[in-house]
């Protein structure tokens, strides 16, 4: 019982991840004709970078549980992204982006519940995705 604090510390630190999340620079383009925001990330680092479902849209334009982290700003109004649960993958899931490669994605206006009357107005996207260095496999 005497070593309980030391054991607790070892258990807590043993579960800590060594993955360092890094902000990425992306481009967005308002696409009113398709009623969506188009996104593009080009990996300019010398390493393969991985994007988690919480930090990049999937092929259907959904971001995992991002309602408090992604907003569309139109005419001084903030429209948070509708929360979406991408589910759980036991092996984990991340989108690998090799050095020099780019990925494109989109988010639909409807996922922000953007009123039709604002579709043609200028937009800003509040979104700060993160990535981590991963193996190229």
Residue 29's pLDDT is 97
Tens-place pLDDT, residues 81-137:
998 876 655 555 789 999 999 999 999 999 999 999 999 999 999 999 999 999 866
Q: Quote the domain boundaries for residue 45.
A: 19-133
The mean pLDDT value for 5-9 works out to: 41
**Of 111 and 5, the one with more pLDDT:** 111
Which residue shows structure tokens 């630190």?
13
Is position 39 within any domain? yes
Q: Strands (DSSP E) along the chain, which ranges?
A: 21-23, 26-31, 36-42, 49-51, 71-74, 77-80, 95-97, 102-108, 123-126, 130-133
- Would you say residue 12 lies in a domain? no
CATH number at residue 29: 2.60.40
Q: How many domains does the chain have?
A: 1
pLDDT band at residue 65 using 50, 70 and 90 as cut-offs: confident
pTM of the model: 0.80
Give domain status of residue 5, yes or no: no
**Which distant-in-sequence residues (6+ apart) come within 8 Å of 77 by Cβ?**
118
Mean pLDDT score of the chain: 85
Range scoring the smallest mean pLDDT among 2-11, 40-49, 54-63, 84-93: 2-11
Whether 106 is in a domain gets the answer yes
* 11 confidence band (pLDDT: 50, 70, 90): very low
Residue 113 neighbours by CB under 8 Å, 6+ apart: 79, 82
Residue 6 lies in a domain: no
Is the pLDDT reported for residue 2 higher than 80?
A: no
Nearest alpha-carbon partner for 51 in 36, 67, 40: 40
Q: Enter the DSSP assignment of 21.
A: E
Whether 14 maps to a domain, the answer reads no
pLDDT at 16: 39
């Amino acid at each position: 019982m005497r070593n309980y604090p030391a054991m607790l510390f070892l258990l807590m630190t043993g579960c800590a991840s060594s993955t360092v999340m890094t902000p990425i620079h992306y481009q967005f383009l308002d696409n009113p004709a398709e009623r969506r925001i188009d996104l593009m990330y080009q990996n300019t680092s010398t390493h393969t970078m991985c994007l988690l479902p919480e930090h990049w849209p999937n092929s259907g334009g959904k971001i995992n549980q991002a309602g408090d982290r992604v907003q569309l700003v139109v005419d001084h109004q903030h429209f948070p992204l509708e929360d979406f649960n991408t589910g759980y993958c036991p092996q984990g899931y991340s989108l690998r982006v090799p050095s020099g490669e780019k990925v494109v994605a989109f988010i639909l206006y409807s996922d922000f519940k953007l009123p039709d009357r604002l579709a043609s107005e200028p937009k800003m996207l509040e979104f700060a995705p993160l990535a981590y260095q991963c193996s190229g496999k």
